[in-house]
Amino acid sequence: MIKTKRWIVACLFVVVLVVTGNPRIAAAHGDGGFNDEYVYATTRSVNDMDMNPALKLTLFPVTVVLDTALLPFALIAGVVTGS
C-alpha cells in the first residue's frame, strides 16, 4: 500500500513538472503568458490587508505554510489560466 502511494505521488510530481516546465504548453496559449495571481495568493492578501501589523505577523507563518502546501495547484492554475 505504501509503495502504491509513493508511486502515485511520484507520478503527480512528474506531471506537475512537465506541465509547468514545458515551453510548448505555455506557447499553446498564444502569448505564452503565465498567470501568477494564484501563487502565494493568501500571503499576498494578508500583506495587502489594512490591519494591525502585530496581527499580520502572527498570520504570515500560517499563510506561508498554506500557500507552500498549495503551490503545485497554484502553478497548474497559473499555466491553465495564462494571461
pLDDT digits (tens, 9 = 90+) for 6-15: 888 877 776 6
Write out the residue range of the structural domain in which residue 37 sits. 2-80
pLDDT digits (tens, 9 = 90+) for 19-55: 555 555 545 555 556 777 778 888 888 889 898 989 9
Name the pTM for this structure.
Answer: 0.54
Distance CA 63, CA 72 (A): 15
Residue 50: per-residue pLDDT: 92
Residue 6: per-residue pLDDT: 83
Structural domain tally of the chain? 1
